Amino acid sequence: MMFSARQAEIMTLAKEQGRVLVDELAARFAVTPQTIRKDLNDLCDARALNRIHGGAVFPSGNENVKYEARRSMAAGEKQAIGRAAANLIPDNSSLFINIGTTTEAVGEALVDHRELMVITNNINVANRLRVYPSIEVVIAGGVVRGSDGGIVGEAAVDFIRQFKVDFAVIGVSAIDEDGALLDFDFREVKVAQAIIANARHVILVSDASKFERTAPVRIGHISQVQTFITDHCPSSSIRDICAERDVRIIETAPVDRDVAAE
């Protein structure tokens, strides 16, 4: 489902504050409590939020947000990140694209490229790009995850290992302060690790909300990528790690850190 502008703002508030309350939201948006309850029910049904008495809370770090909810979150930021990543990929290239709504934004931005070979375990990316004759799409085999169209499992890992490509575009569920790249599904992580190991240039794409989340399974470390593209990087420790390990950071909406610190 697609969320309304009010529901998207409620999600943003919940993410910033940890929880939202019916009465406060009704006053903020000048609508009835019944309207807010319906909004919260819709968001909770989509697993974007979890219901509590009198309101809702943002999901804890040990569970992932449902696919349609993730697509709606930071949509503009993801589109800008997608364009920036596509600008780094020349025509006549081969690349991996893994599972994720941000990596799908990269796929959307590649449609004008020519003579690409795109190898992916993301059904949504494959379906979007397959209609363009100048883009050859190769899709991994394996278990199709019904929640988001991701292909996971050992068959997908073995398939990925057959290739050595120019670029890999990877997304993650969370980025830890020590530089760890994290996800929720160990089967997806195995595929992502194979993708990183078999690409000459790894591009990590992630919006800034991934710094506020955690996940239980380790993909690898940010030092394993060559380029990190985000809307902005609020973590000084990640900046230091990237500087030490020659990881290029590209920010599509940089924040003036001197102003932010005031």
∠ Cα 17 69 97 (to 5°): 115
Distances (CA, A) of 226 to 58, 105, 121: 32, 19, 21
Each residue's pLDDT tens digit, 109-130: 999 999 999 999 999 999 999 9
Domain 74-261: which topology?
Answer: Rossmann fold (3.40.50)
Higher pLDDT among residues 210 and 248, named by residue: 248
- pLDDT at 24 exceeding the cut of 50: yes
- pLDDT at 230 exceeding the cut of 50: yes
Structure tokens at 69: 């909810």
Average pLDDT (7-32) is 89
Structure tokens at 127: 């379906």
Which ranges in the chain are annotated with CATH 1.10.10.10? Answer: 5-59
The DSSP secondary structure of 114-171, one letter per residue, reads -SEEEEESBHHHHHHHTT-TTEEEEE--SEEETTTTEEESHHHHHHHTT--EEEEEE-
Q: Spell out the alpha helix ranges (H) of 46-111.
A: 67-72, 75-88, 101-109
- pLDDT at 259 exceeding the cut of 50: no
Binned at pLDDT 50, 70 and 90, residue 4 comes out as confident
∠ Cα 112 249 227 (to 5°): 60
Average pLDDT (17-32) is 91
β-pairing, 94-97 vs 165-170, is parallel
Q: Furthest-apart CA pair in the chain: how many Å?
A: 57
Each residue's pLDDT tens digit, 75-105: 889 999 999 999 999 999 999 999 999 999 9
Domain 5-59: which topology?
Answer: Arc Repressor Mutant, subunit A (1.10.10)
Which ranges in the chain are annotated with CATH 3.40.50.1360? Answer: 74-261
Binned at pLDDT 50, 70 and 90, residue 10 comes out as very high
C-beta neighbour count of 223 within 10 angstroms: 14
DSSP class of residue 30 equals T
